[in-house]
Amino acid sequence: MSSTPPLIIQHAEARRLLQQVDVHQAMRRMFLDLAAGEALQPAQQLVEFPHAAGDFINYLGVLAKEHVYGVKTSPYIKTPDDALVTAWTLLMSMDSGQPLLLCDAGELTTARTAATTAVAVEVLAPEQARTLAVIGSGPVARAHLHYVKGLRDWQRIAVFSPALVADAETQAQLRAQDPRVEIASSLETAVNDADVVMLCTSSAGPVLDPRSLARPALVTSISTNAPRAHEVPPEALGEMDVYCDYRATTPGSAGEMVLAAERHGWSREAIRGDLPGLVSGSAPRPDYRRPVFFRSIGLGLEDMALANALYQLLRQGQ
């Protein structure tokens, strides 16, 4: 049987094509398919390199309605000065068993991470939410702002990161994204009176204790790939309504959940719902009697969905 080489999309081309995709709705549809049993998401696979040289994580996924499956593979390669992190997504045909697409997943990862948080804000934030805080100012934080800025009638959008205070160029980029953006001088100022707080940092340790906020709010977290990384204190989970992107896989990888289970007796059964349940209407919404926490670790299906969208664009000659 003859085979056709897969289409290859490099970083710049992925960025260009993504501008033609409704990423938010692509993520929402993917979670609906997951709820309906039309998609499959195994747990992520962590493989360590010999001699403590790093590791790689494989994120697998199947989209049955689209007749595709695939894997995103992301290595963490230690170097003398720092670490090298890349990511590539391979899309395969369920009909022919042939590779369809190999895509640099850097842009896919940024877009799907932020759009997944946007789906969570859409279904979890109070309809009357008016104040938004974004903690972080890098590309992922700016993508979060892009996808959530139209989800509520925000009257105040505060952005803070330690590096941002003296970074006039990034401040200008953020204000260009949305004129409502205010550059906060401190974390405390940013989250003051916030209805929604999005943690978009690279921190491996706690950034914010949601219990310290002036009133119960929605706090979203993405954290990093560092082992047991977490942006909120593990002990806080028992005093919050906890949601996640996918309850079958997130509790085994999210740092604060792993630590809360080990140290504080917290159980994954305490998770009130995940995005498949929330978008399909089967999971309960929060009542905001106490803080609400949403944790995302990223799914292979998210990358598959975006990779397939790019593949379809290329087939159409876009």
Task: Return phi, psi of residue 28, to 5°.
Answer: -60, -45
DSSP state for residue 294 in the 8-state scheme: E
pLDDT at 318 over 60: no
Structure pTM? 0.94
Q: Identify the H or E element spanning 125.
A: none
* pLDDT tens per residue across span 7-32: 999 999 999 999 999 999 999 999 99
* pLDDT tens per residue across span 129-182: 999 999 999 999 999 999 999 999 999 999 999 999 899 999 999 999 999 999
Please report the pLDDT score of residue 222 as a whole number: 94
pLDDT band (50, 70, 90) for residue 83: confident
pLDDT band (50, 70, 90) for residue 286: very high
Residue 205 in tokens: 């340790």
pLDDT band (50, 70, 90) for residue 2: low
pLDDT band (50, 70, 90) for residue 82: confident
Same fold, 7-108+301-315 and 112-298: no
Residue 63 in tokens: 């989209």
Judged by DSSP in three states, 201 sits in: coil
Average pLDDT over residues 265-293: 97
Distances (CA, A) of 282 to 30, 35, 274, 278: 16, 9, 10, 6
The CATH code of the domain at 112-298 is 3.40.50.720
> What is the overall mean pLDDT for the chain?
94
Domain spans, the chain: 7-108+301-315, 112-298
* pLDDT tens per residue across span 116-132: 999 999 999 999 999 99
Which superfamily does 7-108+301-315 belong to?
ornithine cyclodeaminase, domain 1 (3.30.1780.10)
